[in-house]
Amino acid sequence: MPFVEDIRNYRSLSIVGLEKNTGKTVCLNYLLGRLDELGVSTAVTSIGVDGEQVDSVYATAKPEIRLYEGMQFITSERHYEQRRLVSDILGVGELRTALGRLVTAQVLCPGKILLSGAATTGLLRRQIAEFRQRGVQLTVVDGALSRLSLASPTVTDAMILATGAAVSPNLQQLISRTRFVYRLINLPEVEEALRAKLANITSGLWAINSEQEVHDLGIASVFLLGKGDDNLFRYGSTLFAAGAVSDRLLKYLSAQSAIRDTVLVVRDFTKLFITQEAYVEYTRRGGTLLVLQRSRLVALCLNPTSPQGYTLNSAEACQQLSEALQCPVYDVMKCPRP
């Protein structure tokens, strides 16, 4: 798969899925096998728990995570004790989780492991920084469930998105849902000068005037937006939402007479908790959506099989999805690693 060469240009990478059972672990195992062949110094961790042998929801068999000699990893004490590989402990964290402290180790003899790592993106960022200090070239973060927050450019440099039959057994619905997320990932960025002014604002709703001066609107959260906010556009039609954005804000903006001049800026696509319907209505009426920083999508992978037992035609699904998104789509199930 050609995207592996692109990945070598980054220091950290997240693997996230639109739904559970979209093939993240198969993708991870393929990637780790290729990185080992290429001699890339690699570290692996997870947010949540991943690599279990049996799916906790569907009771179906799942691929286990295989690590290779020289790779570093982080997992909980409980799962470190259950490892089926030989490793050397590099450090033990002070923070206790439900599964014990987090153990950092290096593989001496290849084998399989159950990963259970950081519970927050803040801790994950610190772990990635520590791996860099140890000279690791690439840290790969495996996402549990559909935690898209891992793909934020404030956490990892790049991302792989996994989709598949588990999202929908209907190919057209699968394409529609995947295309929507793909559009959000690739939202255009604001210009660099404005990004610098907004980067350190962590909460609230703000306005930017024509001279790119930033004004606090006194609204702590977009979820507190009410009927009395008639002066939302008193400084201009460009707004910055520093936190999470839901349908409520998009619908509010879509109902304004100045919608065609409205520009809404968010930190990155992982802050958007919006439906496709609200997004389409907002943009159809003329609203513009921008991000401070765009996530770098290096690959889109598809798992044609769902745990409920139905299977899509892999070649047809990859082709139609690729045509709809105008980007390559890979089925890594066709070239799995042990």
60-92: pLDDT as tens digits:
445 789 999 999 999 999 999 999 999 999 999
Integer CA distances (angstroms), 278 to 56, 232, 248, 305, in order: 33, 20, 9, 30
pLDDT computed for residue 292 by the predictor? 96
- For the cut 70, the answer to whether the pLDDT of residue 337 exceeds it is no
The better pLDDT of the pair 153, 35 is held by: 35
Which residue is listed with tokens 């450019």? Answer: 153
- For the cut 50, the answer to whether the pLDDT of residue 321 exceeds it is yes
Calculate mean pLDDT across residues 240-263: 91
Calculate mean pLDDT across residues 45-51: 69
> Considering only 34-43, 224-233, 323-332, which range has the smallest mean pLDDT?
224-233
pLDDT computed for residue 137 by the predictor? 96
Pairing of strands 72-76, 100-113: antiparallel
pLDDT in tens, 141-193: 987 545 577 678 888 999 999 999 999 989 999 999 999 999 999 999 999 99
How many other β-carbons are positioned within 10 Å of the β-carbon of residue 17?
27
**Longest pairwise C-alpha distance within the chain:** 65
**280: which residues sit within 8 A by CB, 6+ positions away?**
none
- For the cut 70, the answer to whether the pLDDT of residue 139 exceeds it is yes
Pick the closest to residue 327 from 181, 170, 145, 141 (CA basis).
181
> With contact defined as beta carbons under 8 Å apart, do 17 and 112 qualify?
no
Q: Which CATH architecture has domain 3-186+295-334?
A: 3-Layer(aba) Sandwich (3.40)
> With contact defined as beta carbons under 8 Å apart, do 199 and 309 qualify?
no
Highest mean pLDDT among 134-143, 149-158, 223-232: 134-143
Which residues of the chain form CATH 3.40.50?
3-186+295-334
Calculate mean pLDDT across residues 108-129: 89
- For the cut 50, the answer to whether the pLDDT of residue 338 exceeds it is no
pTM of the model: 0.87
Percent of the chain with pLDDT over 70: 91
pLDDT computed for residue 92 by the predictor? 93
How many other β-carbons are positioned within 10 Å of the β-carbon of residue 1?
18
Q: How confident is the model at residue 94 (pLDDT cuts 50, 70, 90)?
A: confident
Tell me what the pLDDT averaged over the chain comes to.
Answer: 88
Calculate mean pLDDT across residues 194-201: 94
> With contact defined as beta carbons under 8 Å apart, do 117 and 105 qualify?
no
> Considering only 39-48, 130-139, 173-182, which range has the smallest mean pLDDT?
39-48
- For the cut 70, the answer to whether the pLDDT of residue 105 exceeds it is yes
Quote the strand ranges of the chain, DSSP E.
12-17, 42-47, 49-50, 65-67, 72-76, 84-97, 100-113, 115-116, 138-143, 158-164, 205-208, 214-219, 238-241, 245-246, 263-266, 272-273, 288-291, 297-303
Q: How confident is the model at residue 229 (pLDDT cuts 50, 70, 90)?
A: low
pLDDT computed for residue 59 by the predictor? 44
pLDDT computed for residue 136 by the predictor? 96
The better pLDDT of the pair 241, 58 is held by: 241
pLDDT computed for residue 97 by the predictor? 80
Which value, in Å, is the radius of gyration of the alpha carbons in the chain?
A: 21
Pick the closest to residue 17 from 26, 8, 4 (CA basis).
26
Percent of the chain with pLDDT over 90: 66
- For the cut 90, the answer to whether the pLDDT of residue 46 exceeds it is no
Pairing of strands 42-47, 205-208: unpaired
